[in-house]
Structure 1
Amino acid sequence: MNLQQQLQNKIDLKTKPLNALGLLEKIAYKIGKAQQSLTPKLVNPTIIVFAADHGLAKEGVSAYPAEVTYQMVLNFLNKGAAINVFCKQHNINLKVVDAGVSQPFEPHPDLIQAKAGLGTHNMISGNAMTAEELAYCFTSGKDIVKDIAQTGTNIIGFGEMGIGNTSSASLLMSSLLDLPIDQCVGKGTGLDDEGLARKKNILTTIIETHPKPKDAKEALLQFGGYEIAQICAAMLEAYRQGMIILVDGFIASSAFLCASNIEPTIIDNAIFCHKSDEKGHQLLLRSFNEQAILDMNLRLGEGTGCALAYPLIQSAVAFLNEMASFESANVSNK
C-alpha cells in the first residue's frame, strides 16, 4: 500500500462508521497527504494579514471611506480587532503586513513593512499596478513566508484588509473564470441596493475597457490589490515549503485562484475555512470543487475564518493520531 492508501485505511478503520466524521476525515487525509505522514502535526500556526489601499475606493465602491484601511491596521497592532481576539483564543501567531497602505506606520514588532506603493492606481483609468510593483509584491510575499518558515510553522493562514478589495477580487474572478461580472459582485462591507448597483456599473465599465488578461499575473497587474498579489505569492511559497494553507474568505480565495492558475497542484495543501456571505465566494468554492469548513455568514476578512476554523482542523489531526482502531479497541467491525 502507498501512503495515500495507508492514510485512507487508517481513517476508515477508526472506531466509527465509515465516513461518520464527514469533512473532518477529508481534512485529516489532506493534511496527512500534504505532510506525507500517517501521524501529521500542526506546528506554530501563523496567520498573516496583508493590508493595502485601493485607488478604486475613490469611486465609492465600498460603504466605508478609504482611511479605514490605515485605521484598522493600527487596530490590529493595538490587538483590538476580531482577528486579534480569535488568534489569542486559539494560540495562533499573528503578523500584519503593510503591503501598500497610503499612510506610513511607526515600526512595530508585529508589523512587516512591504509597501509596494501608496495604494493601487484607479482601475477606471488604467492598470491597478505597474509591472515593477507586481514584481515587488511577488518578491516580498515569497520572502515573508520564507522568514516565517524559519520559525518552524507548518500551517499558515492568510487574511487581508483593504477598503475596495472585494471589487478587485470580483474582477480577478470574472476575468480568470470567464464569468459575467454580475455573478462575481456582492455588497462587500455592506452596500445598500443603490450602492451595489453603482459598484456593478463601475466594475462592468472596467472589465469592458481592459483587455482580457492572458494569465493570473496579467490579471493582478490590471485588477489586483497589492495585498492580493502578495498573498498570491505568499501562498505559492507556503506550498513550496510544504505548509498547510488556510484560505479565508472571498478576497483570500481570489488570491488563491491566482496562485492555482500559476501552480494548479497548490490545491493539495489548501483548506478552505469558511463560505463567505459574499455572493461570488460560493461560485469560487465550486470552481475549486472544495467544501468550506464553516458556513456562518461571515464577511469580515482579516483571516477571521481561518482562526475560527483552526480548532476543527486540530480535531481532524487529533482523531487521526489518537482515536482507537477497531482492532486496538477490540470493537467488532461490520
Structure 2
Amino acid sequence: MPHPDASAFDAAVARQARLTKPAGSLGKLETLACQFAAWQGRAIPSRLRPAITVFAADHGVARSGVSAYPVEVTAEMVKNFVRGGAAISVLAREIDATLEVVDVGVAADFDPAMPIVHAKVRYGSRNLCDEPAMQEQECEQAIEAGRAAARRAIAAGATLLIAGEMGIGNTTPSAALICALSGARPVDVVGRGTGVDDQGMARKRGAVEKALLRARTTDTAAGWLAEVGGLEIAAIAGYYLEAASAGVPALVDGFITAAAALVACGIDIDTRDWLLASHRSRELGHELALTAMGLEPLYDFGLRLGEGSGAALTVPMLQMAIRLHADMATFAEAGVSDRDHE
C-alpha cells in the first residue's frame, strides 16, 4: 500500500508559512491543505473531484425488532436515491459529485434496467444472533464489490471517495463490529439508530451481546466481519481498502462507515493513512470507533442520517482549504512585510 508523500507535505507546510496571514491563523484548514498535498504528492494540491458510492443491503437481525423502520424501507430508499429525492442525492448535486448506488444485498428484486450497480451477493445477511451473518465466500464477494466500485470511481477521475450506506438495522452489526474490534462494551456502543424506544434499545443491546458471545472465538477483523457484519459494511471496507491501495483519500462518514473503516484498518493498518473522518455523529460509539483508528472528526452537527451525508457536507470546506492554500499570495508576492522583516 502506498504512503502519503512526506516531501510534498513538508513543501506545503513551508508554503503555509509564507502566505499573507499570521502563522497558524487558518487552524485546521492549513493542516487539511497540507494533508491533501501529501495525498496528491504535490505542494499545491488540485481541486477535489468527489465521487459518492452508496451501498445498500438488508440484515437478518432487522426482523428482531432492532430498528424503528420496517425492512422494506431499504428497497424503497434505493429507488429514492435513483429518483434524486434522498438527502445524499441533493448533496451530490450541490457539491458536483458523481453518485453511484450499489445493490450488494437488498432483500428485494429491482428492475434490471434500474440505473444502479446490480451486485447482489444474497438477499440480505443472516441473523447474526444465531449464525454467521455471511459465509466467508459471501463476505469476500461483498468486499470485492466495494473494491470494484472504488476502481470505477478512480478510473472516472475521482480524487476523493465517499462511501454511503442504506440498510435497515445496520447500526446493530456496526455496533457489534466496533465492540469486537475495539474491545468496548455494548453498553458504550449500542445507540438508538433510527430512533428506537427503550424496548428497542434493549433488544439491540441484547442482539449485540448475543452475537459477540456466539462468535467469541473469532480472532481476525475479516472473521468478525463475516460473523457479525453485513454485506454493505463489507463492501465499504473493500471500498476503503481499494482507495488506499490506489493512493486516493476517502472520507469516513458516520457510525456504519466507521465500523467498516475499523474492519479495513484491521485487515491492513496502512488503510488508516488514507482516511479522513468528516464528523462526529450522535450515534453512541461513533467517536469511540474513530478514536480506535486515530481519526479526529472535523465537525459535530448532531447528524445521524448516514448515506454519506456528513461526508458530503465536508467537501466545500475541503475545497476552500485547498483554494486558500493555492491562491493566497505569499509575503514576497504581495510585497507585504512578514513578522521577521526589519
Q: Same fold (TM over 0.5)?
A: yes
The equivalent residue for 1:82 is 87
Alignment of 1:166-245 (within 5 A): 166-245=171-250
Deviates more, 1:112-121 or 1:236-245: 236-245
Q: 1:179 deviation in Å?
A: 1.1
Give the conservation status (yes or no) of the 8 Å contact 1:142–1:237. Answer: yes
Write the letter of the residue equivalent to 1:249: G
CA distance in 1, matches of 2:114, 2:299: 31
The equivalent residue for 1:297 is 302
- Structure 2 counterpart SS, 1:324: coil
- Structure 2 counterpart SS, 1:84: helix
- Structure 2 counterpart SS, 1:132: helix
Deviates more, 1:9-18 or 1:293-302: 9-18
1:96 aligns with 2:101: yes
RMSD in angstroms over aligned alpha carbons?
A: 1.5
Q: 1:108 deviation in Å?
A: 4.6
Deviates more, 1:319-328 or 1:286-295: 286-295
CA distance in 2, matches of 1:213, 1:3: 41
Give the conservation status (yes or no) of the 8 Å contact 2:165–2:257. Answer: yes
The equivalent residue for 1:273 is 278
Write the letter of the residue equivalent to 1:143: A
Normalising by structure 2, report the TM-score. 0.94
Deviates more, 1:103-112 or 1:257-266: 103-112
- Structure 2 counterpart SS, 1:271: strand
Identity %: 37
Give the conservation status (yes or no) of the 8 Å contact 2:54–2:100. Answer: yes
Write the letter of the residue equivalent to 1:134: C
Write the letter of the residue equivalent to 2:225: L
In the alignment, structure 2 segments of 5+ residues that lack a partner are 1-5
CA distance in 2, matches of 1:128, 1:15: 55
Give the conservation status (yes or no) of the 8 Å contact 1:42–1:155. Answer: no
CA distance in 2, matches of 1:218, 1:67: 28
**Runs of 4+ with deviation above 6 angstroms:** none
In the alignment, structure 1 segments of 5+ residues that lack a partner are none
CA distance in 2, matches of 1:211, 1:318: 49
- Which of 40, 50, 53 is equivalent to 2:45? 40
Give the conservation status (yes or no) of the 8 Å contact 1:248–1:301. Answer: yes
Give the conservation status (yes or no) of the 8 Å contact 2:265–2:293. Answer: no
Alignment of 1:27-176 (within 5 A): 27-108=32-113, 110-176=115-181
Write the letter of the residue equivalent to 1:256: A
CA distance in 2, matches of 1:163, 1:287: 25
